[in-house]
A and B are shown apart, each in its own frame.
Chain A
Amino acid sequence: MKIRVQGVARSFRVEGREAPALLPIDLDVAAREVICLLGPSGCGKSTLLNIVAGFLQPTAGRVLVDDAPVTGPGADRGVVFQEYVLFPWLTVQGNVEFGLVLKGLAAGERRDIARRYLELVGLGPHAEKYPVQLSGGMKQRVAIARALANSPSIILMDEPFGALDAQTREVLQEELSRIQRVEHKTILFVTHSIREAVYLADRVVVLTKAPGRIKDVFAIKLPEVRDRFATEFTRYESEITRVVKEEVAQVHQ
Chain B
Amino acid sequence: MEWGLRGAAIPRQRALRLRLTSVIGFLALWSLASGAVVVFKLFNPIFLPGPWLVVGDIVELAGKGQLWTHLAATLYRVAIGFGAGALLALGLGLPAGHIRAVRNLLEPVVELLRPIPPLAMLPLFIVWVGIGEGSKIGFITYATFFPMFLTTVHAVGQVDPLLLRAAQSLGARPRQLFFRIILPAALPEILTGIRLGVALSFFVIVISEFIGAEHGLGYLINDGRNFFLVPQMLGAAVLLGLLGYVGNGLVRAIERRVTRWQHHDGAAA
Of all chain A residues, which has the CB nearest B168?
A73
Distance between Cα atoms of A175 and B184 in the complex (Å): 32
Distance between Cα atoms of A168 and B266 in the complex (Å): 27
Measured CB to CB, the closest approach of chain A to B204, in angstroms, equals: 33
Residues of the B chain whose Cβ atoms lie less than 8 Å from the Cβ of A81: 162, 165-166
Q: Are B165 and A99 in contact (CB under 8 A)?
A: no
Measured CB to CB, the closest approach of chain B to A70, in angstroms, equals: 12
Residues of the B chain whose Cβ atoms lie less than 8 Å from the Cβ of A85: 160, 162-163, 165-166
Of all chain A residues, which has the CB nearest B187?
A89
- Of the 9-residue stretches B4-12, B33-41, B170-178, which lies at the interface with chain A? B170-178
Given A102-B176, A129-B267, A130-B267, A88 and B261 contact (CB-CB distance below 8 Å) = yes
Measured CB to CB, the closest approach of chain B to A185, in angstroms, equals: 14
Residues of the B chain whose Cβ atoms lie less than 8 Å from the Cβ of A133: 264, 267, 269
Distance between Cα atoms of A83 and B160 in the complex (Å): 11
Given A81-B166, A129-B269, A131-B261, A74 and B171 contact (CB-CB distance below 8 Å) = yes
- Whether, in the assembled complex, A53 has its beta carbon less than 8 Å from a beta carbon of chain B, the answer is yes
Per the CB 8 Å criterion, the residue count for chain B at the interface is 28
Residues of the A chain whose Cβ atoms lie less than 8 Å from the Cβ of B160: 85
Measured CB to CB, the closest approach of chain B to A75, in angstroms, equals: 3
- Whether, in the assembled complex, B55 has its beta carbon less than 8 Å from a beta carbon of chain A, the answer is no
Distance between Cα atoms of A75 and B171 in the complex (Å): 4
- Whether, in the assembled complex, B229 has its beta carbon less than 8 Å from a beta carbon of chain A, the answer is no
Cβ contacts A82-100/B at 8 Å (1 or 0 each): 0101011111000000110
Q: Are B169 and A73 in contact (CB under 8 A)?
A: yes
Measured CB to CB, the closest approach of chain A to B256, in angstroms, equals: 13
Distance between Cα atoms of A27 and B187 in the complex (Å): 43
Of all chain A residues, which has the CB nearest B160?
A85
Main secondary structure of the interface of A (DSSP, over half): loop
Distance between Cα atoms of A146 and B264 in the complex (Å): 22
- Whether, in the assembled complex, A245 has its beta carbon less than 8 Å from a beta carbon of chain B, the answer is no
Of all chain B residues, which has the CB nearest A149?
B170
Given A88-B262, A89-B184, A132-B262, A79 and B169 contact (CB-CB distance below 8 Å) = yes
Given A55-B165, A87-B163, A128-B267, A102 and B261 contact (CB-CB distance below 8 Å) = no
Q: Are A132 and B169 in contact (CB under 8 A)?
A: no
Per the CB 8 Å criterion, the residue count for chain A at the interface is 32
Q: Are B170 and A98 in contact (CB under 8 A)?
A: yes
- Whether, in the assembled complex, B251 has its beta carbon less than 8 Å from a beta carbon of chain A, the answer is no
Of all chain B residues, which has the CB nearest A91?
B267
Distance between Cα atoms of A132 and B260 in the complex (Å): 11
- Whether, in the assembled complex, A72 has its beta carbon less than 8 Å from a beta carbon of chain B, the answer is yes
Cβ contacts A119-153/B at 8 Å (1 or 0 each): 00000000011111100000000000011001000
Considering the complex, which residues of chain B in the window 162-219 have a beta carbon less than 8 Å from any beta carbon of chain A? 162-163, 165-173, 176, 180-181, 184-185, 187
- Whether, in the assembled complex, A77 has its beta carbon less than 8 Å from a beta carbon of chain B, the answer is yes
Residues of the A chain whose Cβ atoms lie less than 8 Å from the Cβ of B166: 79, 81, 85, 87
- Whether, in the assembled complex, A103 has its beta carbon less than 8 Å from a beta carbon of chain B, the answer is yes
Q: Are B171 and A79 in contact (CB under 8 A)?
A: no
Measured CB to CB, the closest approach of chain B to A106, in angstroms, equals: 17
Of all chain A residues, which has the CB nearest B266?
A130
- Whether, in the assembled complex, B101 has its beta carbon less than 8 Å from a beta carbon of chain A, the answer is no
For A73, A77, A131, which residue has the most chain B Cβ atoms within 10 angstroms? A73
Distance between Cα atoms of A128 and B267 in the complex (Å): 8
Q: Are B169 and A74 in contact (CB under 8 A)?
A: yes
Distance between Cα atoms of A146 and B169 in the complex (Å): 11
Q: Are B264 and A102 in contact (CB under 8 A)?
A: no
Of all chain B residues, which has the CB nearest A129?
B267
- Whether, in the assembled complex, B23 has its beta carbon less than 8 Å from a beta carbon of chain A, the answer is no
Contact with B170, one of A83, A89, A102 (Cβ below 8 angstroms): A102
Contact with A150, one of B171, B260, B266 (Cβ below 8 angstroms): B171
Distance between Cα atoms of A150 and B187 in the complex (Å): 26
- Whether, in the assembled complex, A78 has its beta carbon less than 8 Å from a beta carbon of chain B, the answer is yes
Given A85-B163, A89-B185, A89-B261, A103 and B169 contact (CB-CB distance below 8 Å) = no
Residues of the A chain whose Cβ atoms lie less than 8 Å from the Cβ of B170: 75, 78, 98-99, 102, 146-147, 150
Measured CB to CB, the closest approach of chain A to B179, in angstroms, equals: 11
Supply 9 A–B pairs (Cβ within 8 Å), ascending by A.
Answer: A54-B168, A81-B162, A85-B166, A90-B261, A91-B267, A99-B170, A132-B262, A133-B269, A150-B170
Q: Residues of A with Cβ closer than 8 Å to B?
A: 53-55, 72-75, 77-79, 81, 83, 85, 87-91, 98-99, 101-103, 128-133, 146-147, 150
Q: Residues of B with Cβ closer than 8 Å to A?
A: 160, 162-163, 165-173, 176, 180-181, 184-185, 187, 259-264, 266-269
